[in-house]
Amino acid sequence: MVQNKDLKRNYSIGIFDSGIGGLTVANAIFKRFPNEKIIYFGDTAHLPYGDKSADSIRFYSLKICKFLLEQNCKMIVIACNSASSAAYDTLLEFFEGNALFVNVVDPLVHSVSYKGFSKVGVIATKATIRSDIYRRKLKTIDPDLEVVQLATPLFAPMIEEGFHNNQLSTEIIKNYLSHEMLNGIDALLLACTHYPLIKDSIDQFFEGKIEIFDSTDVVADVVEEKLNKSSLNSEKLQGTHEFYVSEFTESFAETTKVFCNKELELIEKAIWT
Ligand code: DGL
C-alpha cells in the first residue's frame, strides 16, 4: 500500500461530487491554488445522491476514489455533503494512507462552532439530513446549541436547471425556509454543494438578520492546512485540469457554466465495470 510519505508534490488534487454542484468547491480550490492540477469526477450517472441510500453512496464513492487514486491524486476532496456524510469513514477505512482526505462536513461544522450562536439551522439533501451528521457533530462540540435540520430536496435540481435569483427560485426558497422549525435561528448552514449559488437569495429571505455559512472557502482552508502540513504543495501547475463525468449529456456540459462561468470540457468515463 502507498503511504502518505510516498505522495508527491506534483500529484493532483482529486475532487468528486454526485454531479456538477461540487464545482462550487472546485472553484474555491482553483482560485486559492493556481499551481495545483485538479482532476474532477462528477457521478452524473447516479445523481442525485441526496435520494440514494447510504450503502449506494458508499459503493459509488469507493469506485470513484479508486479511479482518482489511479490518476495519482495526493488528496481527495469529497465535494458533496451527501457523500461526505455517508462515505467519509468508509473511504478512510479503505484508502487512508493512499492520499490525504478532505470532506465538506467538518470544515462547515468548525466554521460555525464557538461563535456564540444559540440556534443553528441546517439545510441539505434528504441523505445528509437523514444521516443526522451535522446535529451529532455540532452537539458534540456544544451540547447546549439547538440544531434544527431541514431537507430541501428541490433546491439542487432547481439550481442545476438554472433557476436561481429569479421569481421561481425566490418562491421555492420562501416556501422551504418559512418552515416554523427555522424560527429564531441565528445562523444557517448551507450543507449542500449547490447552495452557494442561492446564498444571496437566502440572505434576502432572512433580510440579512442571520449568518449564513457554506462549504467553499472553509474547505479550501482545510485543503491549504493539510497540504502545508504534509509539504505537498505543488510548485508549478502540471498540465491542465481534467473533468470526468460518469455519463455525458449536453445539458451537464451546459450546466458547468452555471457553476464556473464558462463551459468546461467534460470527458465521459465508465468506471463501474
Ligand atoms: N452534491 C449533493 C450534496 O452536496 C447534492 C446533489 C445530489 O443530491 O446529488 O449533497
Which tens digit of pLDDT belongs to each residue from 5-24? 688 999 999 999 999 999 99
Mean pLDDT (the chain, rounded): 94
The answer to whether residue 260 is catalytic is: no
Residue nearest to atom 2 of ligand 1 (CA): 80
Name the residue among 168, 160, 163, 211 with its Cα closest to residue 190: 211
Domains 4-103+217-268 and 106-215 alike in fold? yes
Q: Is the pLDDT of residue 188 over 60?
A: yes
Decide whether any atom of ligand 1 lies within 6 Å of the 259 Cβ.
no
Q: Is the pLDDT of residue 1 over 70?
A: no
Q: Which atom of ligand 1 is nearest to the CA of 127?
A: 10
Could you tell me the residue ranges of all domains in the chain? 4-103+217-268, 106-215
Residue type, 14: G
Give the residue-averaged pLDDT of 41-57.
96
Q: Which atom of ligand 1 is nearest to the CA of 82?
A: 10
CATH 3.40.630.10 fits 4-103+217-268, yes or no: no
Name the residue among 90, 86, 88 with its Cα closest to residue 131: 86
Q: How would you write the chain as a 3-class SS string?
A: CCCHHHCCCCCEEEEEECCCCCHHHHHHHHHHCCCCCEEEEECCCCCCHHHCCHHHHHHHHHHHHHHHHHCCEEEEEECCHHHHHHHHHHHHHHHECCEEEEECHHHHHHHHCCCCCCEEEEEECHHHHHHCHHHHHHHHHCCCCEEEEEECCCHHHHHHCCCCCCHHHHHHHHHHHCCHHHCCCCEEEECCCCHHHHHHHHHHHCCCCCEEEECCHHHHHHHHHHHHHCCCCCCCCCCCCEEEECCCCHHHHHHHHHHHCCCCCCEECCCCC
Residue type, 34: P
Query: Given pLDDT bands bounded at 50, 70 and 90, which one contains residue 90?
Result: very high
Decide whether any atom of ligand 1 lies within 6 Å of the 196 Cβ.
no
Above pLDDT 70, what percent of the chain? 99
Residue nearest to atom 9 of ligand 1 (CA): 48
- Which of 81, 108, 130 most suits a substitution to test ligand 1, by most atoms within 8 Å of the C-beta? 81
What pLDDT shows up at residue 259? 85
CATH architecture of 106-215: 3-Layer(aba) Sandwich (3.40)
Among the listed residues 65, 73, 192, 260, the single catalytic one is 192
Cα-to-centroid distance, 48 and ligand 1 (Å)? 6
The answer to whether residue 65 is catalytic is: no
Give the residue-averaged pLDDT of 163-182.
94
Q: Is the pLDDT of residue 31 over 70?
A: yes
